[in-house]
């Protein structure tokens, strides 16, 4: 079992974030568990790349002196699996908001889906979703969105290293994506729908890898607490 000194000197934890947990909640749960176990008033804990509440999968969480490694870890290539639902769009590009527009899908063939996916591979320009934590003029984009304010979003260059269609069960398209730092899979889903002359939103997402770290080696925040043999509910 890890000691107090281990966590203070620095640990890199592979955490499998549960559905509907924010990344912030996961970090807080880890910090709380360590602090409670070792009676620490303060310990640095942070994550190396946000996952939306509706996504599951790998969070790299650093403790103690390892928090200095976060910028380096954030730059690693990421892998995701998930589902894009075609024929509709939502303001958040996922299921956080309700469907606002519907589009035809009768013209969409398997060949078209696979060809369109290939067209996204490489360096592309992408706009972050308006419902995101990207900052503009000191405020998060979602702050503008929730107030119904329109805002001009600057595109950014990202790189899609692989966009593999793993299963087609219309209107659902299952995929695997390998991408650079700064990629929004929600935006990819939205842009994919447009490229198919329809609409699309992200209906399921799981982060499976960050660099060489795999979610199969991760544990949930609850399991982390249990491994420390802490009793009582997560704070």
151-203 per-position pLDDT tens digit: 667 889 999 999 999 999 999 999 999 999 999 999 999 999 999 999 999 99
Return the pLDDT at 161.
98
Read off φ and ψ for residue 21, nearest 5 degrees: -85, 140
Is 232 domain-assigned? no
Quick one: 49 and 100 in the same domain? no
- Residue 233 pLDDT > 80: no
Residue (of 14, 37, 38, 36) closest to 26 by Cα position:
14
Residue 167: give the domain boundaries.
78-210
CB 15 within 8 A of CB 29: no
The pLDDT, as a whole number, for residue 130 is 76
Q: Residue 71: enclosing H or E segment and its boundaries?
A: helix 70-74
Number of domains in the chain: 2
Backbone angles phi, psi at 24, to 5 degrees: -60, -40
Do residues 104 and 184 both lie within one domain?
yes
Q: Give me the residue label for tokens 């640990």.
A: 11
pLDDT tens digits, 131-147: 665 555 555 555 555 55
The alpha carbon of 167 is separated from its chain's Cα centroid by a whole number of angstroms, namely: 21
* Whether the Cβ atoms of residue 117 and residue 161 lie closer than 8 Å to each other: no
Output the pLDDT for position 137: 52
Which residues does the annotation mark as catalytic? 52
* Average pLDDT of every residue of the chain: 91
pLDDT at 129: 84
List the CATH number of the domain containing 39. Answer: 3.30.2350.10
- Tell whether the model's pLDDT for residue 206 goes beyond 80: yes
Q: Kindly state the percentage of the chain with pLDDT values over 70.
A: 89
Supply φ then ψ for residue 202, to 5 degrees: -80, 120
Same domain membership, residue 205 and residue 220: no
**CA 21 – CA 42 distance, rounded (Å):** 23
Same domain membership, residue 194 and residue 94: yes
- Chain-centroid distance of CA 71 in Å reads 17
Q: Is the same domain home to 90 and 65?
A: no
Band of residue 49 on the pLDDT scale cut at 50, 70, 90: very high
Same domain, 23 and 107: no
């Amino acid at each position: 079992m890890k000691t107090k000194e281990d966590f203070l000197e620095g640990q890199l934890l592979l955490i499998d974030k549960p559905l509907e947990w924010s990344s912030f909640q996961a970090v807080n749960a880890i910090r709380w568990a360590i602090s409670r176990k070792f009676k620490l008033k303060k310990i640095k804990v942070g994550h190396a790349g946000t996952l939306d509440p509706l996504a599951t999968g790998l969070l790299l969480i650093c403790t103690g002196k390892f928090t200095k490694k976060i910028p380096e870890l954030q730059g690693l290539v990421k892998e995701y699996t998930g589902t894009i639902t075609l024929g509709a769009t939502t303001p958040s590009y996922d299921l956080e908001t309700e469907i606002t527009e519907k589009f035809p899908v009768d013209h969409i063939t398997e060949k078209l889906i696979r060809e369109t996916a290939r067209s996204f591979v490489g360096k592309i320009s992408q706009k972050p979703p308006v419902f995101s934590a990207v900052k503009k003029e000191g405020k998060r984009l979602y702050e503008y969105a929730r107030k119904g304010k329109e805002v001009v979003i600057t595109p950014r260059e990202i790189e899609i290293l692989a966009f593999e269609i793993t299963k087609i069960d219309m209107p659902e398209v299952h995929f695997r994506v390998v991408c650079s730092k700064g990629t929004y899979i929600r935006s990819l889903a939205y842009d994919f729908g447009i490229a198919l002359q329809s609409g699309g939103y992200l209906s399921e997402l799981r982060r499976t890898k960050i660099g060489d770290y795999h979610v199969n080696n991760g544990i949930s925040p609850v399991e982390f607490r249990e491994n420390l043999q802490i009793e009582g509910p997560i704070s």
